[in-house]
Amino acid sequence: MGNLTDHFSAGSSSNVLEIVSYNCDGRTVTLNGKTYTAGTASLQVMGTSEVTANGTSISYTPPEGTKAVIYETDVTFKYIDTNSIMHFHLEIDGTEVTRSRRTTRGYNLMTVMPFRSVIEVGAATEDLATGKVGAWNANKTLDLKVREYSSSYETEVSDLTWWAGGGSATPAYMNLKITAIK
């Protein structure tokens, strides 16, 4: 009958080239000779104009051989108005990645929303709006942009007001994770 490797190639090591992961609390992380300084998550009342969610911005250059970069964070948000609506999306160097758009709505809603977007690296034709990057050999800024739907559906980011029976605003520190895949 033989071995499986006689018929199928043996799996090599992981396809992961690099993972940069940290809490958004202002810390400094050094990985493979590169230093990343985390932004600091803090309470943020949304408006109808897009802003970067505090702590979610990173200037990043993937290692050579990267075919995809995965941007992941978690957004804690809470209602201000009884019914809240929040929009969020990824931006690459100030360009909205339209395929990363997300909306959440809830009545008296307070939750953690995971966010994930995959960026293709080495695309024949660069198109940041669709998450395709051509040559990526210098830092690009990745940001999570947030806004509320209207002033009638107000939302707050990074707020744990009701933590452990309390009633005062307490910041929720997001996590940010960047994974480079070969």
Where are the domains positioned within the chain?
13-181
Q: DSSP states of 129-160 as a string?
A: GGTEES---S-EEEEEEEEES-TTS-EEESB-
| Residue 40 DSSP code | B
Residue 57 pLDDT greater than 80, yes or no: yes
Which listed CATH number (3.40.50.150, 2.60.120.40, 3.20.20.140, 3.40.50.620) goes with 13-181? 2.60.120.40
Q: Average the pLDDT over 135-162 and give the result.
A: 85
Residue 12 pLDDT greater than 80, yes or no: no
Q: Is-contact 87 147, C-beta < 8 A?
A: yes
Q: Average the pLDDT over 131-142 and give the result.
A: 96
Q: If you average pLDDT over every residue of the chain, what do you get?
A: 86
| pLDDT value at residue 7 | 45
Secondary structure class of 99 (helix, strand, coil): helix
13: confidence class by pLDDT, cuts 50, 70, 90:
low
